Amino acid sequence: MRKILVGISGASGVNLGVKLANEVAKTNECHVVVSKNAKLVLEKEQKLNLSIKNAKIYDDSDISASLASGSFGIDSSIIAPCSINTLAKIHAGFSDTLLTRAAAVALKERRKLIIGVREMPFSTIALEQMAKLSSLGVVIAPPILGYYADIKNLEDMENFIIGKWLDALGIENQIYKRWGEE
């Protein structure tokens, strides 16, 4: 089983990260880190508590957790949604929380790292930081709407975005309708 890290930071749409983690956990060993501010955003936006099944959930302040070491062997990592704050920290090489440390580990180990940066519009600083990380192999995958997947409601649109993230992780899924599929 692949070890996948799902990191969730405090950008709008924390519920997307929660749904993503639940999908990843169905077929992978799923490790989840949720920033303190992500918990606050989830509560403010959706009045929801965190509910992720069959995954190991870590405290973001626990920088001694297994994930903090490259030797733990996380295969691929995704941070979704990724706040501008977390983007800036990853770009600058900060490792002051378990989430930012896990991203720094993915970079140093040359493992797959995907970031679903969510902001609208993007500042030039954020665009430059994303361009730099992209040049280092990081996949920049913001939660962007697409209308070609027979979208009928918000759930379909969320599944489209989550499906694209699962595709980026190399996880087979049928949660959205692909172009050309009947």
Which residues make up the interface to ligand FMN (CB under 6 A)?
A: 9-12, 35, 37-38, 41, 44-45, 83-86, 118-119
Q: Is 179 left (phi over 0), alpha (psi -120 to 50) or beta?
A: beta
3-state SS assignment for residue 34: strand
User: 75 or 94, CB closer to ligand FMN?
Assistant: 94
User: 58 or 171, CB closer to ligand FMN?
Assistant: 58
Reference 104, options 116, 89, 118, 119; nearest CA is 89
Q: What angle do CA 30, 31, 33 make, to 5 degrees?
A: 140
Q: Closest distance between ligand FMN and the C-beta of residue 122, in Å?
A: 10
User: 89 or 112, CB closer to ligand FMN?
Assistant: 89
In DSSP notation, 66-100 reads: GGGSGGG---EEEEEEE-HHHHHHHHHT--SSHHH
Please tell me the distance from the alpha carbon of residue 114 to that of residue 7, in angstroms, as a whole number.
10
Q: Closest distance between ligand FMN and the C-beta of residue 105, in Å?
A: 17
Q: Closest distance between ligand FMN and the C-beta of residue 74, in Å?
A: 19
User: 68 or 171, CB closer to ligand FMN?
Assistant: 68
Q: Closest distance between ligand FMN and the C-beta of residue 86, in Å?
A: 4
Reference 35, options 12, 60, 64, 13; nearest CA is 60
Q: Closest distance between ligand FMN and the C-beta of residue 9, in Å?
A: 3
User: 26 or 132, CB closer to ligand FMN?
Assistant: 132
Strand partners, 4: 30, 76
- Nearest position to ligand FMN, beta carbon: 10
